[in-house]
Amino acid sequence: MKKELMLKIGAAGGSLSICSVIEGNERTFFVFKNESILKGFLTEEDDSDLVYTHRSDALPSFEAAIDALDVYPRFISLSYHSINHQRRPSRA
């Protein structure tokens, strides 16, 4: 299994990442949310029910992973170009 970071969006309160995982000939994508830095700013009472990290279910494409980011509020417009994720053989 090979894991590759495809995109990371960082901010003062945490980060969102998209990673690809290759197992055999199959590539899937996951969205990771990490807001654990917020834990230091909250009292035990405030954070008793909060989840600071989360991994999405497996997603079939990078585009689907980008679409999954829509559940998170943001103040910038996000656009991207579809790309072919197959790597070309390197030249010797």
Residues 41, 76: Cα–Cα separation, whole Å: 25
Which tens digits make up the pLDDT trace of 15-57? 889 999 999 999 999 999 988 887 777 777 777 777 888 999 9
Residues 16, 52: Cα–Cα separation, whole Å: 12
User: What pLDDT does residue 20 have?
Assistant: 95
Please, what is the average pLDDT of the chain?
A: 79
Amino acid (one-letter) located at 50: L
Query: In the chain, what are the domain boundaries?
Result: 2-71
